[in-house]
């Protein structure tokens, strides 16, 4: 398909380093030409072995490096808005890790800026849309074979939460994946959120009210419930059951090997999202590279990033109030059709 | 174990007839000596082939028939209170189909009457406590191996609702099984109920708001959610996942045969509760006969029947109010310890 | 259904004691009136608590005890032939634990004796025919929905072999269950046997060549393979996959509860055949009692017992020769149609 | 990792075209610089859209094209030997689709030629070694957690056989995958083969004796059985259960979505090997490109290709003789250690 796409990667932390490896060694058609991180040491480390890459402390310098044709933003959330606007200013296509911008107000500014450009430049990193199981479920729901979706039952469990994880992050960092997945699967916007919770697990750090049970009502009359349990101790489990008028479909209980010993028949449970969604990340970045080389922008849009932020903010309010909280979105700019993926 | 237990069966409808067959041909140690139903024709039909049985229109006449040592009440719910009190008056042990009494006030009168007797005579027909899968889950939770239970996720689906099924019956006829199962599995009382629902399925009869999603909070800080969907169209599915501090356990997805054809790999789903819980009914009645012949009363008590009614009434209020409704139980008489099963 | 069937139980070992308990407390319509065992102490123990039972050292004395209407033979295999002929002499219906008679020549004498009577008196204790999973598979195969059966893949694993278990017993004690199940499922007779084996497991006792892999060819052109592994260490697993022209069906991998912990998602595996087939034994004896009270004889016949012995003997020859051994059955007496079950 | 690896692809049929697409658009680090096929039309079609590629009728011309650094052989099996020797003559690393060479004698000539070079140039396209499930099983077996492997039970089913498929191809085209997988999983060489079969399915074309049941004995005393059924009608199913002294492990029954409708709970079964093993092909070619760019040769060797041919030839003899046929391998040249993968 011609020359390799030159990519600048902003952020060389855990996720940024993984994307640099992916662009360099897994994905076809791209090369990393610039890496930026205020901690240039870790930028150097992440870029080691990549031929012809330039390392910068300053993101804008990376964007202006020779050969840069597209940007992958993997810096911390608070740096996203400025990076996105800088990319927009240069007309560079962007793959932006979630969240688009941590707060809904900032996300809306990004949406408005992109709208003023009159064309999409942004794909947001909701990688579940590229997971084989989610794609199969989406395809089944879209086929209409099961009729209208009535409920989604979702489970989202982690082994344990990282240091500094807060009760609000249960919603705006973890459940945000289910928010996007539900919007995408149903083609509907959440309209209200209620949060209930049992007494916290004794395995949760002091002050972290984990697990919780989050319920979304949607514009199309569906109900979405999510168990979020980030200190489950027993694995990284992401499941989704769609209950429809004509049947139900469930993903996330699949397995590839059953081992039987005196302890019973056992299936492995993935312990980590980078393992569970490794293929989804690969497909996500490949899809972005392919589309960008063809001059197209696909996948979750800035609007999707904004909507996820608004819903998450309502969820955090519902955590605090114990009551049902309404979700109010700004009018959707013309640029963003719902089903532009 | 000596002579057969003489049983009077009150009510010869679908369930009564099934119990007559069970006592006559499946269960060891009992015989049906009297059957009562205002429609004596169907009583005669249900009793056909049972040797030495007397058929009555009047329940009290059946209780007074020669050889009656115990009573199985399978008449319609509104007739239960009078039948229970009549049995109490004669000191007869009772297996009473659910509901104990349809309304909580009547159920409380039964509890008080039995309390005045100073000894239990009543086992309530919550047959799930005798199902092999539920027993396995109960045993696991009681073992403490998974730690404290935080959440129960329950699914209760029927193919279609019978004529006359009302929105309130989603709670007080269907979810009442989950109410009892949750109380039994957790050893905790529900304290509040919230009901949410998606737009009703187009397969539900006009005016029936089906499916619904019911959430119980409990005295021990657990959260119980129940999907009730009585017009699912796709089978009789009863599932329960207990999420605990140290792991989770799920029942209701078991299967016994996988058939693979060009249509994929397929497992059968039971279409009917009499099929799904056939063994549970057999075990329930056998346990009642065995205990009764030994002069003991075990299983779900009148208090369990009362508590289920109170919680169901709160649930129906929550359906109507859309808000969280508190559950208030009368003080528990000394006669009823929580774990007398 | 009238008076209880009076049963004499011959043999009060592990299996006999279990059947006495079953007839007394589980099955409907029967009572144990006589128990015989040369070790009268264990006969007394097994009969304890059974009302009105007489204990004998001599089987014939038990058959002649007052009230005996039917016989359940659970004595050691070598005693079966004499007991069966004694029952035939008295016209008593028999449920005979497997093997009918350990050697094919003795089994044939029983078949001939019953044939001379001109009516069936014998049901052989191949309990798998009463297991819910096997019944479902049988029903599916008989329905014709999957077309002609081409292969059966069978697995038969025990945790460990009891003392005194020999290499020949892998076939004539363990695989004999698959021999009967395959004949019943397919409605075909085995015509040849080949046995292959890997190097024995180090968990097998010295000299026991365990596991083995046994292949049967049948009169209808089907192929049946059986892994027999009696020191697997990991459970009692009985599986069967039928591969047909139009699809395949598999039983024996079912489960009723999945427990997920840090060790993965785990299903229990039964450790013992009395657990795995508890319901099958109950149903088998109930079916025998029901049929006997109605004057009928159903289930696996003496011919089925004889055929299993012949095939097992060919299997033992194949173990020793390493070659394909033909199976030769005597002509089938008119009394025994293939599908009399 | 520097410049892209220039690859010549020989053969532009179904498989060759798929590899061209894979090298161009999926795999990182390679580009297709030459394509050869006697039918230049289909070579042109397969190369369409690939920038800077030259199309040739003659394989040797393609090998000599500018920029060629490595060769992927996807031409028909009979052309492999000449192509391999031509690559050896030029010192070019090769990924050669299976079979290495169709007949064992030719495969041995290739092994000897490579041995004379004194270094490996060849990776054979046994892609199952790159499948996630097989890799997981291999890793478990190598860990020693389950102890010594005693048996492998394998299933290999296709929907239907392509035109011209012969009975011998059941072994040398289909079961050859299991031959390689078993050698790799066990680290043992097959020593004898026996083939049994039921009457053929009526869905098999006239004269094709399908299905068959193939048994391999190995140098380490393990037993490998394979059901091969290429006209199963119900899907592309590849399963493998390893039975070990301390437990068993099974792959190939995994699934990613369960759909429940009135027809039961259903999992999809892949219909095609390109779907089932799509990821394995991608990983295989990526591993080859990565190793080649680093100057290394990994994966299944020419010796593995030769051994598979020898075992397959014994299998075809066993089909014809109905007897146990011994497998005799030439002495293994020093170049090939068993575990060089």
Nearest residue, CB atoms, C199 vs list D153, D221, D225: D221
pTM above 0.80, yes or no: yes
Quick check: is B150 in a domain? Answer: yes
Whether A116 and A175 share a structural domain = no
D279 to chain A: nearest residue by CA? Answer: A279
Closest chain D C-alpha to A280 CA, distance in angstroms: 12
Please give the average per-residue pLDDT across B107-126, as a whole number.
Answer: 98
Interchain pair A260, C266: CB under 8 A: no
Mean pLDDT over C151-157 rounds to: 97
Q: How far apart are CA A108 and CA A310, in angstroms?
A: 9
The verdict on residue B336 lying in a domain is no
Q: Which two tokens stand for residue C122?
A: 């014998």
How far CA A171 is from CA of A101, A177, A217, C208, in Å, comes to 15, 9, 16, 60
Contact A151 B198 (CB under 8 A): yes
A227 vs B: CB within 8 A: yes
Give the residue from B327, B332, B340 showing the smallest Cα distance to B300: B340
Q: Is residue B333 assigned to a domain? A: no
Q: How many CB pairs under 8 A join A and D?
A: 94
Tell whether the model's pLDDT for residue B113 goes beyond 90. Answer: yes
Q: Residue B84 has what pLDDT?
A: 98
ipTM attached to this prediction: 0.92
Note the pLDDT of residue B338.
56
Domain count, chain A: 2
C216 within domain boundaries: yes
Tokens 């365990």 map to which residue? C210
In this prediction, residues A24-47 reach a mean pLDDT of 97
Tell me, yes or no, whether C198 and C320 share the same domain. Answer: yes
Same domain, C246 and C123: no
* Position C102 confidence tier, pLDDT thresholds 50, 70, 90: very high
Does residue B120 sit in the same domain as residue B138?
Answer: no
Judged by CB atoms closer than 8 Å, whether chains meet at B263 and D266 is answered as yes
Cis peptide before C211 (omega within 30 of 0): yes
Distance CA A53, CA A43 (A): 11
Cβ pair B225:A225 closer than 8 A: yes
**Which residue(s) pair with C235 in the sheet?**
none
Partner residue facing B133 (CB), from C256, C261, C286: C256
CA distance B241 to chain C (A): 9
Whole-number pLDDT of residue C338: 57
Tabulate helix, strand, coil % of chain D (nearest 5): 40, 25, 35
- Contact check, Cβ <8 Å, B213/A148: no
Nearest to B79 by CA among B96, B61, B55, B56: B96
One-character DSSP codes across B57-79:
SSHHHHHTSTT--EEEE-S-GGG
Structure tokens at C176: 């004999």
CA-based nearest distance D253→chain B, Å: 10
Q: What angle do CA C193, C197, C199 make, to 5 degrees?
A: 165
Q: Is the pLDDT of residue B19 over 80?
A: yes
Which pLDDT value is given to residue A39?
Answer: 97
Mutation site, B245, B252, B324, interface A, largest A CB count within 10 A:
B245
Nearest to D248 among C220, C234, C246 (CB): C234
284-313 in chain B: CB under 8 A from chain C: 286, 290
Q: What value does the mean pLDDT take over residues B12-36?
A: 97
The count of other CB atoms within 10 Å of the CB of residue B233 is 18
Same domain, B119 and B196: no
Ranges assigned E (strand) in B197-246: 212-218, 223-229, 237-244
Q: Are residues A259 and A157 in the same domain?
A: yes
Give pLDDT tens digits for A144-199: 999 999 999 999 999 999 999 999 999 999 999 999 999 999 999 999 999 999 99
Picking from A233, A237, A265, the nearest residue to C266 by CB comes out as A265
Please state the rounded mean pLDDT for residues C294-321. Answer: 97
Q: Cβ–Cβ of C150/D234 closer than 8 Å? A: no
Average pLDDT over residues A244-261: 87
Q: Domain span at residue D226?
A: 145-268
Domain harbouring C173, CATH code: 3.30.360.10
The label of the residue with tokens 């097998």 reads C204
Q: Is D264 on the interface with A (CB under 8 A)?
A: no
Question: Which stretch of DSSP H or E encloses residue D35?
Answer: strand D30-36
Residue of chain D whose Cα is closest to the Cα of A28: D28
**Residue A257: predicted pLDDT:** 83
- pLDDT of B255 higher than 80: no
pLDDT interval class at D2 (50, 70, 90): low
Closest to D30 measured CA to CA, from D62, D64, D1, D61: D1
- What is the per-residue pLDDT for B1? 44
Average pLDDT over residues D244-256: 88
CB pair distance less than 8 Å for C262 and A234: yes
> With an 8 Å Cβ cutoff, is A222 touching chain B?
yes
Mean pLDDT of A201-230: 97
C-beta atoms of B255 and D263 within 8 A: no
Q: Do A264 and C235 touch (CB under 8 A)?
A: yes
Query: Domain check: are B213 and B316 in the same one?
Result: yes
Look at residue A341 and tell me whether its pLDDT is greater than 70.
no
**Does A153 map to a domain?**
yes
Name the one residue in this structure whose structure tokens are 């708001």.
B209
- The verdict on a CB contact (< 8 Å) between C151 and D227 is yes
- Asked if the C-beta of A264 comes within 8 angstroms of chain C's C-beta atoms, the answer is yes
**Token match 């297709």: residue?**
D32
pLDDT, mean over chain D = 95
Which pLDDT does position B235 carry in this prediction?
Answer: 85
Lookup result for tokens 């009169």: C219
Contacts of A133 in chain D (CB under 8 A): 256-257
3-state helix, strand, coil in chain C (%, to 5): 40, 25, 40
C97 CA: distance to closest CA in chain A (Å)? 29
The alpha carbon of residue A248 is apart from the nearest alpha carbon of chain C, in Å, by 20
- Which residue, D184, D209, D177, D181, is CA-closest to D195? D209
| D25 closest CB neighbour out of A1, A256, A257 | A1
- Same-domain status, B210 and B238: yes
Hey, which bits of C57-113 come out as E strands? Answer: 70-73, 94-96
Residue of D147, D199, D210, D323 to mutate for C, most C C-beta atoms under 10 A? D199
What CATH number has the domain bearing residue B112?
3.40.50.720
Mean pLDDT of chain B: 95
Residues B246, B104 within the same domain? no
The reply to whether D329 falls in a domain is no
C257 in the same domain as C285: no
Looking at residue B2, its pLDDT comes to 57
Do A250 and A284 reside in the same domain of the chain? no
Q: Which residue shows structure tokens 């039987």?
A: A260
Question: What is the mean pLDDT of the segment spanning B205-220?
Answer: 97
C341 domain residue, yes or no: no
Give percent of chain D above pLDDT 90: 89
Partner residue facing D267 (CB), from B234, B262, B265: B265
Tens of pLDDT, residue by residue over A90-141, are 999 999 999 999 999 999 999 999 999 999 999 999 999 999 999 999 999 9
Which of A 30-59 lie inside 8 A of D, CB atoms?
Answer: 49-51
pLDDT, tens digit, for every residue of B130-167?
999 999 999 999 999 999 999 999 999 999 999 999 99
Task: Report chain D residues whose CB lies below 8 A from the CB of C233.
Answer: 245-247
Helix (H) or strand (E) holding D261: strand D247-261
Cα atoms in the 13 Å half-sphere on the side-chain side of C251:
20
Mean pLDDT of the region B59-80: 97
A218 shares a domain with A191: yes
| Number of inter-chain CB pairs under 8 A, A vs C | 46
Task: Quickly state the pLDDT bin for A269 (edges 50, 70, 90).
Answer: confident
pLDDT at A340 over 50: no
Dihedral over Cα of C116, C121, C123, C124: its sign: negative
Instruction: List phi, psi (to 5°) of B256.
Output: -125, -10
Q: Do A265 and C269 touch (CB under 8 A)?
A: yes
- The confidence score (pLDDT) of residue A219 equals 96
pLDDT value, residue D1: 44
């Amino acid at each position: 398909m011609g020359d390799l796409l030159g990519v600048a990667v902003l952020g060389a932390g855990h996720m940024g380093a993984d994307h640099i490896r992916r662009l360099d060694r897994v994905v076809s058609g791209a090369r990393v030409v610039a890496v930026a991180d205020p901690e240039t040491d870790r930028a150097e480390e992440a870029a080691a072995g990549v031929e012809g890459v330039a390392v910068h402390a300053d993101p804008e310098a990376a964007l202006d490096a020779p050969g840069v044709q597209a940007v992958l933003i993997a810096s911390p959330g608070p740096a996203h808005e400025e990076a996105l606007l800088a990319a927009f200013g240069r007309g560079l296509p962007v793959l932006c890790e979630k969240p688009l911008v941590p707060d809904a107000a900032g996300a809306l500014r990004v949406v408005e800026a992109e709208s003023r450009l009159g064309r999409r430049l942004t794909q947001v990193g909701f990688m579940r849309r590229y997971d084989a199981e989610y794609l199969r479920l989406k395809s089944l729901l879209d086929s209409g074979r099961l009729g209208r979706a009535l409920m989604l039952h979702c489970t989202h469990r982690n082994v344990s939460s990282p240091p500094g994880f807060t009760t609000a992050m249960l919603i705006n960092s973890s459940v945000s994946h289910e928010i996007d997945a539900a919007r995408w699967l149903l083609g509907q916007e959440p309209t209200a959120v209620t949060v209930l919770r049992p007494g916290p697990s004794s395995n949760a750090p002091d002050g972290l009210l984990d697990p919780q049970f989050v319920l979304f009502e949607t514009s199309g009359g569906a109900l979405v419930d999510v168990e979020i349990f980030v200190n489950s101790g027993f694995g990284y489990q992401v499941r989704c059951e769609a209950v429809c008028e004509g049947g139900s479909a469930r993903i996330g209980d699949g397995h590839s090997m059953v081992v039987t010993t005196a302890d019973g028949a056992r299936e492995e449970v993935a312990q980590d999202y980078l393992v569970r969604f490794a293929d989804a990340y690969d497909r996500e970045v490949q899809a972005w590279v392919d589309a960008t080389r063809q001059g197209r922008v696909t996948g979750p849009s800035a609007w999707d990033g904004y909507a996820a932020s608004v819903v998450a903010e309502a969820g955090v309010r519902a955590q605090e109030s114990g009551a049902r909280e309404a979700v109010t979105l700004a009018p959707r700019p013309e640029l963003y059709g719902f089903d532009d993926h």
